[in-house]
Structure 1
Amino acid sequence: MKNKVLIIGGGAAGMFAAIFAARNGREVHLYEQNEKLGKKLFITGKGRCNLTNAADMEVLFRSVVSNAKFLYSSFYGYTNEDTIRFFEEIGLKTKIERGDRVFPVSDHSSDVIQVLQKEMKTQGVQIHLNTKVKEILTKEGRFDAVILEKGEKIHGDACIITTGGFSYQTTGSRGDGYQFAAELGHKVTELMPALVPMETEEVYTHELQGLSLRNVAVKILNGKKVLYSDFGEMLFTHYGVSGPLMLSASSIVGKRLLKQSLELQIDLKPALSEEQLDQRVLRDFEENRNKQFKNAVHKLFPAKLIPVMISLSGIDPDKKVNEISKEERQRFVKLMKAFPATLTGLRDYNEAIITKGGVNVKEINPATMESKIVPGVYFAGEVLDLDALTGGFNLQIAWSTAYAAGMNAGIAEE
């Protein structure tokens, strides 16, 4: 008789663990509370599904924000190259885009879910939709069974918890896995939204709603201390800032931001030094020397940004360019190199891509993902205290940890 593995949660990690447990000769049952699998996977990467990142291992580890060392075994045990090869082999063509981000050629996340479902069917995984697990039972200190919401008791040799986090609650993320873990005696670290937009204080940032800035450098400071700095793309919203740069920043400064406000500085012209930018502005001013200031800066900024920059410059908009003093011009240059805003807080879980915090990884075997507290119970994916920057890194955490759990679940009992 085959050993029986029960998997709770049909997201990325759950489906992946199911495939490898089944390939490894287990009888696999996957329980998903929603009416379909992969609801969160469907909306990742703006519906395109950024599967993984093709960068080398060093970049992968550097992009993990929490507990990178814990992932050593699983990242090397199942690499990003393995992930790409796996999807290609089960019929999904992939492509690599800017920043080594890997997407399906079709740009449809539904195709990712489709090939995973097809492979589960091929491997004989039994999928139970609209089925919520209410409790996990142990016997003599090890896993014994799960109890479904309707009261049915299902015995198994191992259980893999892949319930995800709190983020995108519209997809059914309710944090059940944290509750299961706590009931089994695990410690769950402090939870908070991560890869989430941030709120700003200034009215002018809200007026810039919809403006996307590419190739800018940002710094987030607490007094004089730089907490985060990077280069890339960001977006202004009706409440503050979003876009890849700001989402990644939220994972680094989020904890601090829950306690106090922080200063955001945007370098609008990072390719130029202050001196070079001053020369550039001088040339523009020379060309427009008889125009009013407000009509002389159109080459420097997107249209939406012009009124805000003029207002913050402190220079009279109607002043003739040839009347602007050197001090005023240099202040204007400094403004372009450090456009200011005050970060006041994080948006909530409904706008967060992932949850920071989770099951304490010190209580998990990093090679197998098995609980050190309750043998026969395994964890994979976002339910663990693991998170990374944007760019496909979080899904790689899901695939690598799910592979380890799927390959090891149910082995010890044989």
Structure 2
Amino acid sequence: MKNSYDLVVIGSGAAGMISAIVAARNGKDVLLCEQQEKLGPKLKATGGGRCNLTNTLSNEDFMNSFGKNGKFMFDALKDFNHQDLINFLEQIGVETHIPDGFKVFPVTHNSSTIIKALEQELINVGVEVAYCTKVDDIVFEDNCVKKVCTSKGEVNTTNVIVATGGLGYPKLGANGDGYTFAKASGHRVTSLHPAMTPLLTKETWVAQCRADTIAKAQVSVNIKKHKNLKKTGDLIFTNKGVRGPVVLDFSREVTPLLEKYGEVPILINMLKGKNEEELFSYIKKRTASNPDFNILQTIETLLPSSVIKELCKLVHADYELKFKDLKGEIRQNLVKILVNTPLTITNHLGFERAMITRGGISLKQINPRTMQSKLVQGLYFCGEVVDLDGPCGGYNLQWSFASGNLAGKLLD
């Protein structure tokens, strides 16, 4: 390491690496500090290692997927949308494809492909990478960046990009340093919650259904004030709760509510949206053509048998009987629980298993046109460390790349 650089980037995730590359391409002398032994430790784990980079949504729809804070990314996406990311990756030797017409992956479906290409580009453009180097402090003078103090000594600089990520998966290096730097420079950090994490339930019957995936399950919060919180996707039962893509998305909404209410009642429609009337109609047609079918045989085209058995037990319905032989009240209760299966979320697996963090550095104190702090000259924030998080499907990586690209331009 030298004594002085134009820019110091803290963190080597997607946001940190692209910001360093962009700055170096623009002639800046850049130091990238990574506290781990290798670059992109969390990027390597993204999407189970398959690395869903982005998706093909329009900028408008993409921003809407992030909720009320989504409009903050207007300038970042305008400058670097999903097609720009695809083009950038192609320039550094990574071929991508869109197998389902929506999600963009490297053709290798291997995150190591992305990391190796970014690492090589860092070398090509002359970025100095300091491995196993922890930034302990950022020093300011007259509301301007002055220098950074690292585990390997002090470095003078007038620009710092904080791309440290959130609190998820601490074993991959997440430690909250970015929030510490932000607070020390006068920035507000919103409440932080684990997101994209499996959820635990009060109900124990879910353990009997672990082998089954429910496609296109519709999950909603069963609290009057929050009934608009709902998601659709594949659901998987676990020994102590639920997981799967829909749960990972849904957990973003649930973890803050758990802190507020202690437990969160939810409803799950596992019948691809069928209501009670439609289910009755389906059962009537099915039994008409198969009069000898019992309840299990009648409904097993809609749900796995393990789930049917457990729901029948909950309403005291003998699944070996024919549907018409059930008592009226039991029959009605069975239809209700099939259409809206209640569960009670009592906990989550914490930041240890959280892919992203909900909350972060307040967007009100960051200029969306530059990613520079409104409080400190030369201090920039990008990626997950700020108060923006999206659903599964390449949203968060696209945001990291787009915000890192913008920050790396060091615009005033």
For 2:254 and 2:295, the matched residues in 1 are separated by 37
Once the two structures are overlaid, the 10-residue window that deviates more, 233-242 or 34-43, is: 233-242
Question: Is residue 140 of structure 1 aligned with residue 133 of structure 2?
Answer: no
- Three-state SS of the structure 1 residue aligned to 2:210 is coil
Q: Secondary structure at the match of 1:110?
A: helix
Deviates more, 1:249-258 or 1:125-134: 249-258
| 1:332 and 2:334 are equivalent in the alignment | yes
Does the 8 A contact of 1:10 with 1:162 survive in 2? yes
Whether 1:219 and 2:220 are equivalent positions in the alignment is yes
Query: Distance in 1 between the 2:67 and 2:392 partners?
Result: 11
The equivalent of 2:186 in structure 1 is: 185
SS of the residue 1:173 aligns to: coil
CA distance in structure 1 between the partners assigned to 2:297 and 2:53 by the alignment: 46
Worse overlay, 5-14 or 253-262 = 253-262
Question: 2: distance between equivalents of 1:257 and 1:182?
Answer: 26
Please state whether the residue corresponding to 1:67 is helix, strand or coil. helix
Aligned to 2:389: 387
Quote how far apart the aligned CAs of 1:219 are. 1.9
Letter in 2 for 1:255: P
Name the CA distance, whole Å, in 2 between partners of 1:54 and 1:290. 49
1:236 pairs with 2:237? yes
Aligned to 2:403, what secondary structure does the other structure show? helix
TM-score, with normalisation over the residues of structure 2?
0.93
Residue 323 of structure 1 and its aligned partner are, at CA, apart by 2.2
Kept in 2, the 8 Å contact 1:162–1:383? The answer is yes
Residue from 303, 312, 327 that aligns with 1:301: 303
Which has the larger displacement, 277-286 or 396-405?
277-286
Task: Report the Cα distance in structure 2 between the residues aligned to 1:37 and 1:92, rounded to whole angstroms.
Answer: 17
Kindly report which structure 2 residues correspond to 1:7-156, keeping only aligned pairs within 5 A, or say none: 7-65=9-67, 67-98=69-100, 100-150=102-152, 152-156=153-157
> In 1, are the aligned partners of 2:34 and 2:132 still within 8 Å (CA)?
yes
| Residue matched to 2:280 | 278
Partner of 1:353: 355
CA offset digits 1:268-308 (Å, max 9, x no partner): 22254433321222244445645654565443421332321
CA deviation profile, 1:131-185 (whole Å, cap 9, x unmatched) = 11111112232111111124x1111121111111100111010011111111122
Identity of aligned residues (%): 37
Q: Are the counterparts in 2 of residues 178 and 383 from structure 1 also a CA contact under 8 Å?
A: yes
Q: Is the 8 A contact 1:370 1:377 kept in 2?
A: yes
- Kindly provide the CA deviation profile for residues 47-92 of structure 1, in whole angstroms up to 9, marking residues without a partner as x: 1011111111121011113621221211212212211111122111
Going from structure 1 to structure 2, the CA distance change for 1:209 and 1:370 (only over 3 Å counts) comes to same
Equivalent residue for 1:371?
Answer: 373
CA drift at 1:39: 0.5
Q: 2:172 matched to which residue of 1?
A: 171
Name the CA distance, whole Å, in 2 between partners of 1:117 and 1:127.
9
Distance across 1 between alignment mates of 2:274 and 2:231: 16
AA matched with 1:301:
L
How far apart are 1:10 and its partner, in Å? 0.9
Per the TM alignment, residue 246 of structure 1 is displaced from its structure 2 partner at its CA by 1.4
Partner residue, 1:246? 247
Instruction: Return the TM-score normalized by structure 1.
Output: 0.92
Distance in 2 (CA, whole Å) between partners of 1:283 and 1:299 is: 13
- Could you say if the C-alpha distance between residues 196 and 388 of structure 1 is closer, same or farther in structure 2, counting changes exceeding 3 Å? same
For structure 1, which segment, 88-97 or 396-405, has the greater mean C-alpha deviation from structure 2 after superposition? 88-97
Query: How far did 1:259 drift?
Result: 2.0
Specify whether residues 5 and 276 from structure 1 end up closer, same or farther in structure 2 by C-alpha distance, changes over 3 A only.
same
Report how many residues are paired. 408
Equivalent in the alignment of 1:401: 403
Distance in structure 2 (CA, Å) of the matches to 1:5 and 1:38: 19
Return the offset for 1:29.
0.7
Indicate how the Cα distance of structure 1 residues 72 and 294 shifts in structure 2: closer, same or farther if over 3 A, else same. Answer: closer
Shift of 1:320: 4.9
Structure-2 separation of matches of 1:133 and 1:272: 54
Change (3 A) 1:333 1:182: same
CA contact (8 A) 2:274 2:339 kept: no
Matched, 1:255 2:279: no
Cα distance in 2 for partners of 1:319, 1:66 equals: 50
Gapped regions of structure 2 (runs ≥ 5): none
What is the SS of the residue equivalent to 2:239?
Answer: coil
Question: Does the C-alpha gap of structure 1 residues 7 and 276 become closer, same or farther in structure 2, counting only changes over 3 Å?
Answer: same
Contact map agreement 1:290 1:321 (CA 8 A) in 2: no
Instruction: Mark the CA change 1:368 to 1:225 in structure 2 (over 3 Å): closer, same or farther.
Output: closer
C-alpha separation in 1, matches of 2:142 and 2:207? 58
The 3-state SS of whatever aligns with 1:206 is helix
The Cα of 1:118 is off from its aligned counterpart by: 1.2
**Aligned equivalent of 1:323:** 325
Letter in 2 for 1:384: V
In structure 2, the partner of 1:198 is 199
CA shift, 1:326, in A, is: 4.8
1:319 Cα deviation after fit = 3.8
What letter is aligned with 1:189?
T
Report the Cα offset of residue 325 of structure 1. Answer: 4.1
For 1:320 and 1:78, locate their aligned partners in 2 and report how far apart those are by CA, in whole Å. Answer: 59
State the shift of 1:224 in Å.
7.5
- Check conservation: 1:216, 1:232, Cα contact below 8 A: yes
Give, as a single letter, the amino acid of the residue that structure 2 aligns with 1:340: P
What CA RMSD, in Å, does the superposition of the two structures yield over aligned residues? 2.1
